């Protein structure tokens, strides 16, 4: 098994890294410097100040790069950073959740990319290795995913008392790409424009233009530009959205200027959610979200670019149904027992109570809620962590209880609000039993 790749000495990222990082802030400095220097009546020392700032930033950037190394060995990946105090991020392969390849525009210009690794466990858990040549990042990702898969399978095999089987064909991951779905850009843009967020932005823009014309001032041009950029960048982030199937998991590729490619191993999918806003329902459009343990949002992400929870920005019922069934085995079977809130629960949701239900089948637990935006969530029993129910004073009078199914932090929530007392207790203990017996079908492959 030990190959040449297996144990690696500490490596630095590409020496172009500080330059790429500087290109992010360089224009700001250059613009403000030029602005000040071209202004009337400055003395020569100002030039030196700006020069000094530039040199200092370059130095810090170079030193930061110099003190950043990464190591991939048989059990984990380690990233060491810090000029004065050394910080080590260790990611054992069992805890690795997802691996992304990020290509911001500035890095693409140099043919470089960054690797982003997500780990199970709350808090700020995303680790970045930036920047490396694109091909190298791809190779590392394939290696990490294969390792993660192998470790998990081995752990299960060992606990089942079987012989350990090393995973074979480790580096084929990037080769065996099958397209599951390509979202047409036109459809994606139309679907986004038909959302309440964009409609309100549109109304706001009209309001600004009208008031500007009425007042006859050119001032709102700047506001307009800012709003327009803010509105367009999420569209660019979802541009050319393609979902692939690979040997060990799913891959999403998207982005026009800044590209990203996100990989999620099958057994790291915690749950799925189908979102159907009221405006989309007549058109049979759906938004498919996925839950992965770890941070769905990258810290400091702008305009939701770091949002990895989208599996398909717009989909049709047939595709959604097929994909959900594919990713969560058994979820295509209709729920065998469905619990709905009774009429007396109207006091908590005068309209919404009719649209809520919670159902289970031998493989999954799912729930639906919402009459404006309908959300259907599915969680496989083997990913459920615990089950709880709670009851407030008004609920007690009415004989209602809220049931909650707990999974790691993420957008997908399964719960049954204001259900009849007796049914909740029975359902909760039945669910705990199913959870206990459930085992992931993916790790045994």
Alpha carbon distance 428, 371 (integer Å): 25
β strands within 57-111, DSSP E: 69-72, 76-81, 87-92, 96-103
Q: Which is nearer to other proteins, 96 or 243 (CB)?
A: 96
Determine, following the binding rule CB under 8 A, whether residue 345 of this chain makes contact with other proteins. Answer: no
Q: Which is nearer to other proteins, 253 or 267 (CB)?
A: 267
Q: How far is the CB of 170 from other proteins (least distance, A)?
A: 21
Q: What are phi and psi of 118, to 5 degrees?
A: -105, 140
Q: Which is nearer to other proteins, 131 or 348 (CB)?
A: 348
74-133 binders of other proteins (CB under 8 A): 94-95, 120, 122
Stretch that binds other proteins, among 142-150, 238-246, 331-339, 427-435 (CB under 8 A): 427-435
Q: How far is the CB of 360 from other proteins (least distance, A)?
A: 15
And the tokens for 229? 């950029």
Determine, following the binding rule CB under 8 A, whether residue 157 of this chain makes contact with other proteins. Answer: no
Determine, following the binding rule CB under 8 A, whether residue 429 of this chain makes contact with other proteins. Answer: yes
Determine, following the binding rule CB under 8 A, whether residue 302 of this chain makes contact with other proteins. Answer: no
Using DSSP's 3-state secondary structure scheme, residue 277 falls into strand
Among 213, 390, 444, 445, contact with other proteins (rule: CB under 8 A): 390
Among 38, 45, 159, 336, contact with other proteins (rule: CB under 8 A): 159
Q: What are phi and psi of 133, to 5 degrees?
A: -60, 145
Determine, following the binding rule CB under 8 A, whether residue 329 of this chain makes contact with other proteins. Answer: no
Stretch that binds other proteins, among 42-50, 73-81, 139-147, 395-403 (CB under 8 A): 395-403
DSSP 295: -
Q: Distances in Å between the alpha carbon of 233 and those of 132, 172, 274, 285?
A: 25, 34, 24, 22
Among 229, 386, 444, 445, contact with other proteins (rule: CB under 8 A): 386
And the tokens for 300? 């400091």
Determine, following the binding rule CB under 8 A, whether residue 425 of this chain makes contact with other proteins. Answer: yes
Q: Which is nearer to other proteins, 361 or 391 (CB)?
A: 391
Pairing of strands 357-360, 400-406: unpaired
Alpha carbon distance 110, 120 (integer Å): 32
Stretch that binds other proteins, among 38-46, 98-106, 364-372, 423-431 (CB under 8 A): 423-431
Cβ-based neighbours of 309, under 8 Å, separated by 6 or more: 289, 290, 291, 292, 296, 410, 411
And the tokens for 282? 């007549």
Stretch that binds other proteins, among 105-113, 202-210, 306-314, 433-441 (CB under 8 A): 433-441
Cβ-based neighbours of 43, under 8 Å, separated by 6 or more: none
Number of neighbours of residue 107 by Cβ within 10 angstroms = 26
Q: How far is the CB of 260 from other proteins (least distance, A)?
A: 24
* Residue 373 β-bridge partners: 277
Q: Which is nearer to other proteins, 225 or 425 (CB)?
A: 425
And the tokens for 304? 């939701």
Determine, following the binding rule CB under 8 A, whether residue 389 of this chain makes contact with other proteins. Answer: yes
DSSP 334: P
Stretch that binds other proteins, among 18-26, 31-39, 362-370, 387-395 (CB under 8 A): 387-395
Cβ contact 358:403 at 8 Å = yes
Cβ-based neighbours of 185, under 8 Å, separated by 6 or more: 239, 240
* Residue 80 β-bridge partners: 69, 88
Determine, following the binding rule CB under 8 A, whether residue 370 of this chain makes contact with other proteins. Answer: no
Stretch that binds other proteins, among 43-51, 84-92, 275-283, 391-399 (CB under 8 A): 391-399
Alpha carbon distance 244, 141 (integer Å): 15
Cβ contact 99:145 at 8 Å = yes
Q: How far is the CB of 440 from other proteins (least distance, A)?
A: 8
Stretch that binds other proteins, among 40-48, 273-281, 317-325, 382-390 (CB under 8 A): 382-390
Q: Which is nearer to other proteins, 108 or 409 (CB)?
A: 409
Q: Which is nearer to other proteins, 86 or 436 (CB)?
A: 436
Q: How far is the CB of 368 from other proteins (least distance, A)?
A: 19
Q: Total number of residues binding other proteins (CB under 8 A)?
A: 39
Nearest residue to 380 via CA among 272, 286, 250: 272
Contact letters for other proteins, residues 397-416 (x by CB under 8 A): --x-x--x-xxxx-------
Number of neighbours of residue 59 by Cβ within 10 angstroms = 11
Q: What are phi and psi of 98, to 5 degrees?
A: -155, 150
Q: Which is nearer to other proteins, 32 or 386 (CB)?
A: 386
Give the residues lining the site for other proteins (CB under 8 A): 94-95, 120, 122, 152, 155, 159, 293, 382, 384-393, 396, 399, 401, 404, 406-409, 421-422, 424-425, 428-429, 432-433, 435-436, 439, 443
């Amino acid at each position: 098994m030990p190959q040449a790749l297996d144990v690696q000495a500490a490596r630095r990222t590409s020496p172009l890294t500080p330059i790429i990082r500087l290109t992010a802030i360089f224009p700001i400095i250059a613009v403000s410097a030029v602005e000040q220097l071209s202004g009337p009546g400055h003395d020569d020392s100002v030039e030196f100040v700006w020069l000094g700032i530039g040199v200092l930033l370059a130095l810090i950037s170079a030193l930061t790069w110099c003190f950043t190394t990464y190591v991939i060995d048989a059990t984990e990946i380690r990233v060491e950073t810090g000029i004065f105090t050394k910080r080590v991020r260790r990611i054992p392969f069992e805890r690795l959740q997802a691996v992304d390849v990020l290509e911001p525009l500035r890095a693409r210009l140099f043919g470089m990319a960054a690797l982003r690794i997500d780990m199970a466990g709350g808090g700020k858990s995303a680790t970045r290795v930036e920047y490396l040549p694109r091909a190298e990042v791809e190779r590392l990702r394939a290696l990490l995913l294969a390792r993660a898969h192998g470790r998990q399978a081995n752990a299960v095999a060992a606990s089942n008392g079987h012989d350990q089987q090393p995973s074979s064909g480790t580096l084929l991951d990037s080769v065996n790409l099958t397209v599951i779905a390509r979202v047409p850009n036109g459809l994606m843009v139309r679907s986004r424009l038909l959302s309440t967020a964009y409609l309100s932005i549109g109304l706001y823009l009209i309001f600004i233009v009208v008031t500007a014309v009425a007042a006859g001032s050119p001032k709102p041009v700047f506001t307009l530009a800012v709003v327009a950029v803010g509105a367009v960048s999420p569209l660019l982030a979802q541009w050319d959205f393609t979902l692939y199937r690979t040997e060990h998991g799913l891959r999403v590729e998207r982005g026009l200027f800044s590209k990203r490619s996100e990989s999620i191993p099958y057994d790291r999918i915690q749950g799925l959610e189908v979102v159907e806003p009221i405006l989309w329902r007549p058109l049979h459009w759906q938004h498919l979200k996925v839950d992965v343990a770890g941070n769905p949002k990258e810290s400091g992400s702008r305009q939701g670019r770091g949002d990895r929870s989208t599996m398909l920005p717009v989909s049709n019922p047939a595709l959604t149904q097929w994909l959900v069934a594919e990713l969560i085995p058994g979820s295509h079977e209709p729920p065998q027992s469905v619990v709905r809130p009774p009429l007396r629960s109207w006091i908590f949701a005068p309209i919404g109570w009719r649209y809520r239900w919670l159902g289970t089948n031998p493989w999954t637990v799912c729930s639906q809620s919402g009459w404006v935006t309908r959300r259907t969530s599915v969680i496989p029993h083997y990913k459920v962590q615990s089950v709880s129910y709670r009851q407030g004073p008004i609920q007690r009078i009415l004989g209602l209880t809220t049931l909650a199914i707990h999974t790691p932090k993420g957008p997908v929530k399964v719960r049954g609000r204001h259900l009849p007392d007796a049914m909740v207790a029975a359902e909760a203990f039945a669910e705990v039993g199913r959870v206990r017996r459930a085992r992931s079908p993916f790790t045994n492959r």
